[in-house]
Structure 1
Amino acid sequence: MKGNEMWQGKLLTIHTTTRARAPMIAHDTAELMAGVGIAGDRYAKGVDKGTYSALPDVREVTLIEQETLEALMRDHDIKVEPQEHRRNLTTQDVPLNHLVGRRFSVGQVVLEGGRLNTPCRYLDMITKMTICDLLEHRSGLNCRIISSGAIHRGDTIRLV
């Protein structure tokens, strides 16, 4: 993606969970807190951070592309519902792999792309599908929250 390319995406779903292995809970709106995470989410609570990766990372909020879920269905006949992929935000028309190290807004909240998310076998276990390897390089983006505020389903996502 070149610096002068412009795109505009959309926030489709918002999910949080209170602890590891607990079901994801859908929200129409959520409060993002800079340097902390999503209000009520297990990563914001500072406990039960999970064992997703030994790699250093900021994981205040996680995103995945709707296009990835559509590709799983189209190419492998595997349907993954938004509450099953274990990411906080599902986006549409947002080039997540190109946002590592870049700032972008979700509504009025500014995020900064950290590292690409690493798929894990836990996803295979909870969905009872073999999808971990299919998500290599398409498992989403871990982000830092730069400015606090509320986000809402349907918010516009764009570079800042």
Structure 2
Amino acid sequence: MSTLQELLAEVPQIGQVRWIGVRPQRGAPMLEVEAVESRLEAGLTGDHSRPGPRNARQVTLIQWEHLAVAAALMGRDAALHPGELRRNIAVSDINLFSLKGRRFRIGQAVFETTGWCQPCAKLEARLGRGTFQAMRGHGGITARVVQGGIIRQGDPVQAMEPTLANANGQA
């Protein structure tokens, strides 16, 4: 039987990039792209993210499978589109929460999880009543770039080594 520490340390799933989007400026519509360059401490080329090592929200990711869940909670018949939620990368086949406290690779780039991407009042105003509650726990994660590189739709998403806190068994 595995210990909790062993279970937290291993992420056997390999995900896949299903969608990529950038916003050229704050408040602008998301533009879907087939590929994007991630830049060290600067986020994604063409995205309005504020550069710098202290910016914990250089890139936002959302779980592809959660798009249908959130839509169902909102009473919609069809899944939400990632661009409606204003996240940069939609990922399937790996639980984004398992990337907490660790680095992960997408295509050529390496990221580090910096936090949860919580829903906001703007999302409710844009998508309608009930969006905020439907998105709670389904908003995805924020990350910073620790190694730049090209990311393409279809690229694998793979967990790397846990950080020291996660390696010591903290969930």
Structure 2 counterparts to residues 18-57 of structure 1, below 5 A: 18-44=24-50
Aligned pair partner of 2:16 in 10, 19, 23: 10
Name 1:66's counterpart in structure 2.
64
Q: Do the aligned residues in 1 keep the contact of 2:55 with 2:144 (CA within 8 Å)?
A: no
1:73 & 1:112 partners in 2: Cα distance? 28
Q: Percent identity between the aligned chains? A: 28
How far apart are the structure 2 equivalents of 1:150 and 1:44? 19
TM-score, scaled to structure 2: 0.81
Cα deviation code 1:77-130 (max 9, x no counterpart): 334212101100001012112212211111121111111111101112222352
Contact 2:57/2:144 (<8 A) preserved: yes
Are the aligned partners of 2:11 and 2:98 in contact in 1 as well (CA < 8 Å)? no
Distance verdict in 2 for CA 1:84–1:74, change over 3 Å:
same
Quick check: 1:31–1:150 contact (8 Å CA) kept in 2? Answer: yes
Match of 1:53 in 2: none
Q: 1:5 to 1:142 in 2, by over 3 A?
A: closer
Q: Specify every segment of 5 or more residues in structure 1 that has no aligned partner in the other structure, as ranges.
A: 47-55
Higher radius of gyration, 1 or 2: 2
Pair 1:34–1:57, CA change in 2 (3 A): closer
Cα distance in 1 for partners of 2:81, 2:94 equals 18
| Per-residue Cα deviation, 1:42-101 (whole angstroms, up to 9, x for no partner) | 11568xxxxxxxxx8601110000111111234443342121011000010121122122
Q: Please name the residue that 1:96 is paired with.
A: 96
Q: CA deviation at 1:159?
A: 1.0
| Rounded Cα–Cα distance in structure 1 between residues aligned with 2:41 and 2:71 | 35
Partner letter of residue 12 of structure 1?
R
Moved more, 76-85 or 10-19: 76-85
> Matches of residues 128-143 of structure 1 in structure 2 within 5 Å?
128-143=128-143
Q: Which protein has the bigger helix share?
A: 2
TM score, norm. by length of structure 1: 0.86
Shift of 1:34: 1.0
Residue in structure 2 matched with residue 113 of structure 1 by the alignment: 113
Pairs aligned (count):
151
Q: Contact 1:38–1:44 (CA<8 Å) still a contact in 2?
A: no
Unaligned runs of 5+ in 2: 1-6, 161-171
Specify the code of the residue in structure 2 equivalent to 1:58.
Answer: A
Give the 3 Å change call, closer, same or farther, for CA 140–57 of structure 1 in structure 2.
farther
**Which range moved further: 124-133 or 60-69?**
124-133
SS at match of 2:87: coil
